[in-house]
Amino acid sequence: MRRSLAVVGVTSLLAALLGAWAWTAAAVDLRRFAIPSDPRVVADRHGAPLGVVRAGVVDARWVALHDLAPHVTLAFLAAEDARFFAHGAIDPRATLRAVADTLLPWRHASGGSTITQQLVKLTHGRPHGVWSKPLEMVRAVRLARLISKDAVLEQYLNRVPFGHSVVGVARASEVFLGHGPEGLSVAEAALLAALPQGPSRLDPALHPSRARARRDRILRRMAAQGALDAAALAAALDEPIRWNVDVHPREAERFVPLALRGSAPTEQRLVTSLDLALQRHAEGVLARALAAWRERGATNAAGLVLGTATGEVLAYVGASDRSGPGGATDLLRQRRQPGSTLKPFVYELLFEAGGSPETVLSDVRRPLRGAGGATVDARDYDDRERGPVPARDALAASLNLAALDAATRVGPEAIVRRLRSLGFEVPGDAERYGAGIVLGGVDVTALELARAYAALLRGGLATDLSFVPRTAHAGGGAAVMERMASAVTADVLRDEAARARGFGRSLRDLAPNAPFVLKTGTSSRWRDAWCVVGDARFVAVVWLGDPEGRPTAGVSGFEAAAPAAVRLLAAARELLPTMIAVAPVEAGPTAPPAMPTPAAAAAALASWADRARPAHFSGTPRRSESVRLVDPVQGRSVLLVEGASLPLRATACDGGSSPAFFVDGRPLAGSAWAAAPGVHVFAAACGASRSPPVAVTVEVRSIGAAQRPSAARTDASSAPSRVPASVPSAPSSSTNSSS
């Protein structure tokens, strides 16, 4: 008897000690039930999601219980804890049923945890191994004494996981079903209630039949519990499952951080200026352009579209190939050589100073002071000197020598001041650049170019870029250019006939609805191909090249970047037809030449006339220009066996004599050239007359190599390639930039 009493006493003491330990160990940490910060949803101008910035490691948004429709709560109770309001925190009936299901092999296992127990597991975890379940039950009892049933239910519905790092009914509804929890139908509520039992096993995107079967069981339970009548049950069972497989949007990844940077931290849903349809179209246009020019050395591309009147960023492709060179950076914010894209702002200064599109400029090679006082030996893209040229044709054809004349007339100091007022970062003083700044002597970003051209099209009014929607009035700014001079400059860049004279094509066929401003640029050694296009509503900027600075094989602004930029403009016109337009600024009638030719330019013209003796200048006789290359042909790829020579053929000179040949600007002895791989420029000459240059890609293969590859890809709709007479073999200044 004494032994029995002793056993009972010891057992009771151990049970008491165990209970005390469990009660102490199962303390409830109320800090774990604090409402977390909601994620920030970034949307396009129409509300389409671009991305979600999470407050933590999961994607969750809190919703109050009273903001949910009653059938949402009833669906989760039917799925997880039908007697939730009838028990305290532990459901003995469910617990016994779960034990029986576990011990008896012919029964299907079922869970015995109440919603309160599940909430404890979600907030406190199960860190105690085999003791976790008993401690979880004790903690659930203690929690039930601290907060109400409604509070438990609200906490659970906001913490229950749905897979793919999505937590809570609110975000699950938004992410998977495309609308807020307030719009959940009965069938959708039952589908969400089905998932916590096994988010991966019941994922509707992967296992639709399993998800539907589980949903329908929950709907029938709701009907059995009196939550649905027969008609509502039938309608819910017939409702198809709609499920979003693109769980977490990641659109415009370089744009989203910029938009968030200027927003209030408490703003949970940020509506931005970007148009998702235009963004996706821009990504496709740039991807195709990059694919077309990759064989010629372009390894990445970038582009953006602005609203001219407001400065809103409508499309933003920071890197077309995110896995390629430079793909991990935002190429639209990287500084690159601008080629000829700065020329319009020099011509605008020329027009402000009294010049006009008919002002005669000197397109003649002559020594000029460049960066740091060094002599600039610039050339036009085709190595020609055109002599006297109207400013209209010089700008439209992007003539380097004439642009240097314009820059000399207005002065580098004025150019540097103007570029800074337009938002370009120009370090140092004008002495650092000299007149050569007009040919790309200062590095720029695509964002700076977009702002500057928007100001040009706005009649000289500056604007800041905006990543959120705004009105035209909000985009107003200070006058940084004279209104009429900027209008005249834009009119020249809009002149399709002048553009076609310079490049052989206006590109109007790619955006036929209305004329547009267009300016291209190609930096030294073909590293950067640029194009800026715009009208009263949109400005588009496109860049192609190699982010690491390697030269390409003749990838030019007009051939490579311009078609893509014009296609972006056409898409913006189609997708955003109601975009605010700037008020038109009439350029007015063309004024007569108002700026006399400086004495230095006049002397250079006289020297050129004496040297070239053109028929249209000073009455000198026309010299023969009939010589031309017959073979090889412009733009072709030539495959030669290693050690072979490339034969050159040209038309005969006057009198039947044989022409002389030049390769990359150097004279060739004879008419056959010992071929070297790469892009080479050929020309023929009869005395002082030289043929137009011909650019050819040469490939050299050893005997037995694979069959001849296809010709180097070019844009079939582009103008003829414009290759300088000499492709430099070492880095040089940007004064040889073209187009």
Q: What is the pLDDT of residues 383-411, one digit of tens each?
A: 788 889 999 999 999 999 999 999 999 99
**In 535-587, which ranges are E strands?**
538-545
pTM, entire model: 0.69
Cα dihedral angle (328, 321, 303, 404), rounded to 10 degrees? 90
pLDDT band at residue 25 under the 50/70/90 scheme: low
Q: Which residue has the tokens 């009907």?
A: 223
Whether 293 and 560 have beta carbons less than 8 Å apart is answered as yes
Q: What are phi and psi of 646, to 5 degrees?
A: -100, 115
- Specify the range with the lowest mean pLDDT, choosing from 86-95, 104-113, 348-357, 392-401: 104-113
pLDDT (0 to 100) of residue 647: 86
Question: Of 299, 176, 161, which Cα lies nearest the Cα of 244?
Answer: 176
Per residue in 564-573, pLDDT (tens digit) is: 999 999 999 9
Whether 481 and 460 have beta carbons less than 8 Å apart is answered as yes
| pLDDT > 90? residue 269 | no
CB atoms within 10 A of CB 473: 9
How far apart CA 308 and CA 162 sit, in angstroms, is 44
Residue 336 is encoded by which pair of tokens?
A: 């690159």
The DSSP line for 480-507 is -S-HHHHHHHHHHHT-HHHHHHHHS---
pLDDT band at residue 633 under the 50/70/90 scheme: confident
Higher pLDDT, 723 or 130: 130
Stretch 647-672: mean pLDDT: 84
The H-assigned helical ranges of 397-526 are: 400-410, 412-421, 446-457, 483-493, 496-503
pLDDT (0 to 100) of residue 718: 33
pLDDT (0 to 100) of residue 721: 36
pLDDT (0 to 100) of residue 516: 97
Stretch 641-648: mean pLDDT: 82
Question: Of 453, 696, 736, 728, which Cα lies nearest the Cα of 582?
Answer: 453
Domain boundaries along the sequence of the chain: 28-38+60-238, 280-575, 624-736
How far apart CA 217 and CA 236 sit, in angstroms, is 11
Q: Is 516 helix (H, G, I), strand (E, B) or coil?
A: coil
The DSSP line for 283-321 is HHHHHHHHHHHGGGT--EEEEEEEETTT-BEEEEES-S-
* CATH 1.10.3810.10 describes domain 28-38+60-238: yes
How crowded is the C-beta side of 347, counted as CA atoms within 13 Å? 34
pLDDT (0 to 100) of residue 636: 72
CATH entry, 624-736, from 2.40.30, 2.60.40, 3.80.10, 1.25.40: 2.60.40
Rounded to whole angstroms, what are the CA distances from 618 to 61, 117, 614?
80, 100, 8
Whether 275 and 46 have beta carbons less than 8 Å apart is answered as yes
| pLDDT > 80? residue 609 | no
| pLDDT > 70? residue 305 | yes
Q: Is 107 helix (H, G, I), strand (E, B) or coil?
A: coil
pLDDT (0 to 100) of residue 128: 56
Stretch 684-713: mean pLDDT: 65
Rounded to whole angstroms, what are the CA distances from 382 to 84, 412, 694?
84, 26, 10
pLDDT band at residue 626 under the 50/70/90 scheme: low
pLDDT (0 to 100) of residue 559: 94
Question: Of 727, 728, 722, 649, which Cα lies nearest the Cα of 683?
Answer: 649
Residue 13 is encoded by which pair of tokens?
A: 């003491």
Q: How far is CA 243 from its chain centroid?
A: 28
Whether 494 and 517 have beta carbons less than 8 Å apart is answered as yes
Identity of the highest mean pLDDT range in 51-60, 355-364, 431-440: 355-364
Per residue in 44-92, pLDDT (tens digit) is: 999 888 988 776 667 888 999 999 999 999 999 999 888 888 887 787 7
DSSP 57: S
DSSP 461: B
Instruction: Specify the pairing of strand 678-686 against strand 660-663.
Output: antiparallel
pLDDT band at residue 712 under the 50/70/90 scheme: very low
Query: Residue 609 carries which side chain, given as an amino acid letter?
Result: A
pLDDT band at residue 595 under the 50/70/90 scheme: low
Higher pLDDT, 429 or 21: 429
Q: Which residue has the tokens 């379940």?
A: 133
pLDDT (0 to 100) of residue 301: 97
SS3 content of the chain, % helix, strand, coil (to 5): 40, 15, 45
Cα dihedral angle (461, 579, 255, 294), rounded to 10 degrees? -100
Rounded to whole angstroms, what are the CA distances from 334 to 168, 302, 305, 568, 570?
41, 10, 17, 21, 26
Residues facing 300 on adjacent strands:
545
CATH topology match: 28-38+60-238 vs 624-736: no
DSSP 518: E
pLDDT band at residue 112 under the 50/70/90 scheme: low
pLDDT (0 to 100) of residue 19: 53
| pLDDT > 60? residue 729 | no
How far apart CA 392 and CA 412 sit, in angstroms, is 21
Burial 34-70 (b: 16+ CB within 10 A, else e): eebebbbbbbbbeeebbbbebeeebbbbbbebeebee
Rounded to whole angstroms, what are the CA distances from 346 to 190, 279, 523?
67, 32, 17
Q: Is 29 helix (H, G, I), strand (E, B) or coil?
A: coil
Per residue in 521-564, pLDDT (tens digit) is: 999 889 999 999 999 999 999 999 999 999 999 899 999 999 99
Dihedral over Cα of 80, 85, 88, 94: its sign: negative
The residues, ordered by sequence, that sit 6+ positions from 474 with a Cβ below 8 Å of its Cβ are 310, 466
Cα dihedral angle (472, 473, 476, 481), rounded to 10 degrees? 70
The H-assigned helical ranges of 543-627 are: 562-575, 599-612
Residues facing 646 on adjacent strands:
673
Q: Say which CATH architecture domain 280-575 belongs to.
A: 3-Layer(aba) Sandwich (3.40)
Residues facing 684 on adjacent strands:
661
Instruction: Specify the pairing of strand 269-271 against strand 40-43.
Output: parallel
